[in-house]
Every structure is written in C-alpha cells, then in structure tokens.
C-alpha cells in the first residue's frame, strides 16, 4: 500500500486528539509504515515481532525491566539521553543512561561510610569529591544516590545472596559541597541476556558486557537532577560497551589509596576523586523551551494542513 494509505491512517485522528499526539503518533505511523514497505514485512515476520514485544512484557517484573534492556542494546536509551540533554547549558557533568537497576529509598549514610553491607570480595575504594554549580560554588545538601554491582556481576536485587540495598547508598554533600563513601572498584558485567535483549545480541553476534561503572543520581532543589555513570579507564569494555553509554568525559582513573590510614585499616586499597557539577533547573528549562517552541510550530503547521485537507 502506498503513501496514500499511510496518510489515511495519519489523518484518522478524532477532534479530541491533541496536536502533540498528531505530531508524535503521526511520525511513528509514518516510520513504521516506511519500515514495513522498505523491508516487505510478511505476516510471519510481523507475528515474530508481535511475539517479541509480548515477551518483553512477560519477562519484566519489579526486578527486571526488559523494555530498558532492549532499548539499550539497540542504542535507543543512549540516543534518548543525548537528545534529552543536548539543550542543556554547558559546563556541567555529562549525563548517562539510568539503566534498569535503579531503586529509590536506598539507605542514607554519613559521609565516609561504606555501602558494602556484606563482604562480597572486590577492591574497596574510597570515593571523594565535591558537588558544585558551574561557577564552582559548593552545593550544600545535594543528594547523591550511588549504586553498583558486586564482583559477581549482579546487583543486589538480582542476587539472593546479597542483602537488600547492598552496594547502594544515599549521601548528602556537606557545607563545602564535599561527599565521600566507600564502595568497590566496579566490575564489568553482562546485562541479562536470557530474554529478548539477549536474543537480539545473539542475532547481531554481539557480547552482553558493560564496562565497570558506578551509577549516580545527584539532585538538589534548585538544580537539574543529574543521572550519570562513571567508567573505569582500565576496563577493556570501556571502549566496547554493549549499551553504547560511555562518554569520554565520564571515564575516570582509579588510583592507589595513598596515605589515608583511617581507611587503609578498613581494607580500602583504591581511591577515586570525582567532582560533580550541576546546572540550574531554570537554565535547563529555558533552553528546553526553545525546542518546545520549534515543536509547537510543526504542530501548528500540521493542524493547518489537516484542516485545509
Ligand atoms: Fe549498571
């Protein structure tokens, strides 16, 4: 069927549909139809796709988010992350994907405390730094949520041998914007590949490994929430990430602990110094408004064309 058929579907929206739904769903319909024509999709192939989407839902639960995993192996979450933050003001720490393993309400610790609730091996690392605005002013009270996997490659919710919220914690920056905690030098791990995301990897002949990384969510009442990850420069997968999330400026260097006896006696061997720069929410909203204005123009144009059709 031709473009005429696609136009018929795109103009079938009722008067109660919003301009945004016309623009976004209209574009989706156009791309899906183009994809189907371009690849001459048959009923059997379409049914394979329908079953594939159904399986994404069937395998997902509160501990597993296959929709995110499938998006990730296709590079979709990395692309969405980049688009979302393209309009942000410069000079702040780069964002990265949140991934499927975030949990809110992780235990609140004091600065310098450890997120290791149970010994699971690995190299203990002291992580320290400051949270500031783009001019270097400290952001007292900034909330830092961090999480990473155990050396067996599993996050606590995937692993019955780890206690709840192991290797996760919430910290607050002090008067000088400083924070610190003890965690593990992160380990490379495979994303779960026993479901639809794994099937895609197999079809594409790709490995499931992610480089060693620590996840961060850093928030403050008047600043834009930063979701990011840091990547270990020495990990071989930092240059070959299965979900395409690595950005150059969030690759970090882990160093030997040095002369910090207080932490050395607790078995800490490594150190990571990592400063975080946030940008004002107001600034982000201002730049994003420009994008919204451009979209509104497209919607106006679309409405005018539909009403004259
Ligand atoms: Fe992760």
- Whole-number Å distance, alpha carbon 266 to ligand 1 midpoint, is 26
Cα Rg for the chain, rounded, in angstroms? Answer: 23
Is 80 exceeded by the pLDDT of residue 45? yes
Q: Is it the case that residue 307 has pLDDT exceeding 70?
A: no
DSSP category for residue 114: B
Q: How far is the CA of 204 from the centre of ligand 1 (A)?
A: 22
Burial class (CB in 10 A: 0-12, 13-18, 19+), 274: middle
Rounded CA separation 96/278 (Å):
14
Distance (angstroms) between ligand 1 centre and the Cα of 42 equals 37
In which residue are the tokens 């850093």 written?
218
Distance from residue 187's CA to the centre of ligand 1 (Å): 10
- The rounded Å distance from CA 286 to ligand 1 centre is 31
Q: At what angle do helices 19-38 and 281-308 cross, to 10 degrees?
A: 70
E-assigned strands of 207-295? 209-210, 213-220, 223-232, 251-252, 255-256, 268-273, 276-277
Token pair for residue 24? 């976004």
- Would the pLDDT of 83 be above 70? yes
The answer to which of 69-78, 221-230, 278-287 has the lowest mean pLDDT is: 278-287
pLDDT, tens digit, for every residue of 210-263? Answer: 999 999 999 999 999 999 999 999 999 999 999 999 998 899 999 999 999 999
Q: Where are the domains of the chain?
A: 3-75+285-308, 90-278
pLDDT tens digit string along 125-162? Answer: 999 999 999 999 999 999 999 999 999 999 999 899 99
Distance of CA 189 from the midpoint of ligand 1 (Å): 8
How far does the centroid of ligand 1 lie from the alpha carbon of residue 184, in Å? 13
Sign of the dihedral through C-alpha 95, 97, 99, 103: positive
- The Cα angle at residue 214 between residues 220 and 203, in degrees rounded to 5: 120
Total-model pTM? 0.82
Q: Is the pLDDT of residue 308 over 90?
A: no
**How confident is the model at residue 220, as a pLDDT?**
97
CA of 75 to the centre of ligand 1 (A): 15
Q: 99 alpha carbon to ligand 1 midpoint, in Å?
A: 6
| pLDDT, position 306 | 65
Question: What is residue 309's predicted lDDT score, i.e. its pLDDT?
Answer: 58
Region 90-278: CATH code: 2.60.130.10
């Amino acid at each position: 069927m031709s473009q005429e058929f696609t136009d018929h579907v795109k103009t079938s929206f009722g008067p109660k549909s919003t301009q945004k739904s016309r623009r976004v769903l209209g574009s989706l319909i156009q791309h899906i139809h183009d994809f189907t024509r371009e690849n001459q999709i048959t009923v059997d192939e379409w049914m394979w796709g329908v079953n594939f989407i159904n399986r994404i839902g069937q395998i997902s639960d509160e501990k597993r988010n296959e929709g995110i995993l499938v998006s990730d192996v296709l590079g979709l979450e990395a692309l969405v992350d980049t688009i979302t933050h393209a309009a942000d003001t410069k000079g702040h720490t780069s964002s990265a994907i949140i991934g499927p393993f975030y949990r809110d309400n992780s235990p609140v610790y004091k600065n310098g405390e450890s997120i290791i609730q149970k010994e699971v091996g690995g190299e203990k690392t002291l992580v320290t730094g400051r949270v500031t605005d783009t001019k270097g002013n400290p952001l007292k009270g900034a909330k830092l949520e961090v999480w990473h996997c155990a050396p067996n490659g599993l996050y606590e919710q995937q692993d019955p041998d780890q206690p709840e919220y192991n290797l996760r914690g919430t910290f607050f920056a002090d008067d000088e914007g400083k924070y610190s905690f003890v965690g593990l030098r992160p380990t490379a791990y495979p994303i779960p590949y026993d479901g639809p995301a794994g099937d895609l990897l197999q079809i594409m002949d790709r490995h499931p490994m992610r480089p060693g990384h620590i996840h961060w969510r850093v928030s403050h009442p008047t600043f834009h929430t930063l979701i990011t990850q840091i990547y270990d420069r020495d990990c071989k997968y930092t240059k070959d990430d299965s979900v395409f999330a690595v950005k150059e400026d969030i690759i970090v260097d882990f160093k030997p602990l040095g002369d910090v006896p207080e932490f050395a006696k607790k078995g800490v061997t490594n150190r990571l110094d990592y400063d975080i720069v946030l940008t004002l929410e107001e600034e982000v909203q201002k730049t994003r408004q420009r994008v919204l204005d451009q979209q509104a123009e497209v919607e106006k144009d679309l409405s005018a064309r539909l009403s004259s059709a």
